[in-house]
Amino acid sequence: MALDPNVGRREYRDLLLDSGRGAALADFARRELARDPSSALAAKDLGAAELARGDPRAAVAAYERALALLPAFLARRDPAVAGRFSAQEADLINLLSVAVRLSGDRARADALCDDVARRQSRTAHLDRLCRAYARADAGDGVGAREALAGYQPPAPEHEALVAALNARLESR
């Protein structure tokens, strides 16, 4: 990683999250952002770290920053995606929606999730995570479980959010 910041980065951040070291990931992400303030990945990592540390308000700020940085990141990395609704954007909005919900703003969380649903193709199901949280908050445990049916969490922060939601649903 010292020679090439892209080599091993994802594995390192996932390992930190999996081992409950959100504070270490936050430090890593902040160092990355100091080195490259335009890093959407580092901003997203900071959001994941803040959620892992139990600070959804700080996660909201980090995910908002990641969303603001994402278009330029995609233009550099994948110009074909630039200007279109991407899976990366949908994922960030899902995470932002859940963080917003956890910080107490259900109306904004619902609006963010509805934005994903509105912008995704008719056959896509990119809003599963935020939709499950919305349904759980509405008292619809069955609907929340249905929203998660077939959902494959792409990273440890998603796994943690699914596990927390499932634990909440089981306790009802």
Residue at 41 is within a domain: yes
In a domain, 89, yes or no: yes
Distance CA 46, CA 73 (A): 16
Going from the first residue of the chain to its last (172 residues), give the mean pLDDT of each consecutive group of 10, the final group possibly shorter.
Answer: 68 92 96 94 97 97 97 87 87 98 98 96 93 97 96 96 96 82
* pTM for the predicted model, two decimal places: 0.93
Tell me what pLDDT residue 77 has. Answer: 83
Give residue 135's domain range.
9-170
Could you give the number of structural domains in the chain? Answer: 1
In a domain, 2, yes or no: no
Q: What is the pLDDT of residue 168?
A: 95
Helix (H, G, I), strand (E, B) or coil at 7: coil
Within a domain: residue 1? no
Q: What's residue 1's pLDDT?
A: 54
Can you give the pLDDT at residue 148? 96
3 found inside a domain: no
Specify the pLDDT at position 3.
57
User: What's the confidence (pLDDT) of residue 4?
Assistant: 63
Quote the radius of gyration of the chain (alpha carbons, Å).
16
Residue 149: inside a domain = yes
CA angle at 15 for the pair 131 and 128, rounded to the nearest 5°: 10
115: in domain? yes
What the block records as the tokens of 87 is 């899976």
We report the CATH number of the domain holding residue 137 as 1.25.40.10
